[in-house]
């Protein structure tokens, strides 16, 4: 039986994290999180950019900057 957040093709599952300064805490184990802007999956090993204030993950630094600019308008 597949878990609710599990991809049936790859077996990958979405993690639930609490983003902290320079680190994160895992609330639900998984292999990826979703970019808050694009919705693209980000493998936990590749996760480098997030907002502690908004509790959002971003796929790239450019996307992170885009989000900051977007929210300041």
The DSSP call for residue 62 is H
What is the value of pTM for the model shown?
0.81
Answer yes or no: is pLDDT of 2 > 50. no
- Tally the domains of the chain: 1
- Residue 43 sits in which domain range? 16-72
Does residue 29 lie in a domain region?
yes
Does residue 5 lie in a domain region?
no
CA distance 49 to 57: 6
Asked whether 1 and 38 are in contact (CB, 8 A), the reply is no
The CA-to-CA distance between both ends of the chain, in Å, stands at 45
* Residue 26, both tokens: 């895992």
CA distance 57 to 23: 12
7-66: pLDDT as tens digits: 544 568 999 999 999 999 999 999 999 999 999 999 999 999 999 999 999 999 999 999
Does residue 1 lie in a domain region?
no
């Amino acid at each position: 039986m597949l878990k609710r957040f599990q991809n049936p093709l790859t077996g990958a599952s979405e993690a639930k994290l609490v983003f902290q300064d320079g680190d994160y805490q895992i609330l639900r184990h998984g292999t990826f999180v979703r970019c808050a802007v694009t919705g693209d999956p980000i493998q936990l090993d590749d996760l480098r950019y997030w907002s502690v204030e908004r509790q959002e993950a971003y796929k790239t630094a450019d996307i992170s900057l885009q989000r900051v600019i977007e929210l300041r308008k």
